[in-house]
Amino acid sequence: MTNSRITLWLAMALLLISGAAVADHHEEAGGGNDMAQAMASAMALAQPGDCHKPLGAQVGQFNVKMKIYPGPGAPAIEADGTSEGAWILGGRFVETNYSATIMGQPFEGQGVEGFDNQTKEYTGTWRDTMGTYTLVFKGNCDGENKGRTMLTNMKDPMGNDLQNRGVTTATDTGYTYESYIITPDGGEFKNLELVATRK
C-alpha cells in the first residue's frame, strides 16, 4: 500500500473514531446514539447521491462564449474560451478549469463544486488569474436537478463589500452560467454570462 493510501486510510479511521467517540459520549449523557450508528451515519454521509448528479453537466470538454459587463448598462466585452470538467475524489466534486483570452490578455480560472450531504447545500470555490482571492459559494438546487443558485461575499477593487449570485443551468448541449452583482440597495446587475457547448 502506498504512503498516500496509508495516510488516507488513517485520516478516515481517525475521522470515524472521533465521530464514534463523540457519539459514545452522547450516549453516556443519555442521547441514545452508539458507535455503530455513528459509523453508519458517517459512511452514508460520505457517499455521492442524487444531488451530486447535476454537477455532471460540467464534466467534459466545452467551447465557451463569454459576455462580461463592467457595470450596469455597460456594453458587453465578448470573449471565447474553453472549459474542461472532471469528477474528482470519487465522484464527490467536479473540478472545472477555464481558459480564454479577454481583451488580449490570457485568462485562467478554476472552480470546484460539490454537494454537502450533511448541510444539504451545494458548495463551491473559485480562483482565477484576475486576482489572488478564493471565492467560497454556497447554495441550493432548483428542485428539478437542472441548476443551482449560489451566493458568495466578495470585495471590489476598492475594498467595498459586495455579494455575488451565480446561477448554473444544465442545457441539452452543455450548461450556462450567469453571474449577478447584488448592489447595496438590494438591486442587482448581470456582470457575466457564459454559454458552454460540449465539443
pLDDT digits (tens, 9 = 90+) for 123-182: 999 999 999 999 999 998 766 667 899 999 988 888 888 899 999 999 999 999 999 999
pLDDT band at 10 (very low <50, low <70, confident <90, very high): very low
Is residue 9 predicted with pLDDT exceeding 90?
A: no
Which pLDDT value is given to residue 4? 47
Percent of the chain past pLDDT 70, that is, above it, reads 81
Spatial separation of the C-alpha atoms in residues 125 and 10, rounded to whole Å? 26
Query: Between 36 and 11, whose confidence is greater?
Result: 36
* Over residues 73-90, mean pLDDT: 96
When pLDDT is averaged across residues 85-113 and rounded to a whole number, the result is: 96
Mean pLDDT (whole number) for 82-110: 96
Mean pLDDT of the chain: 85
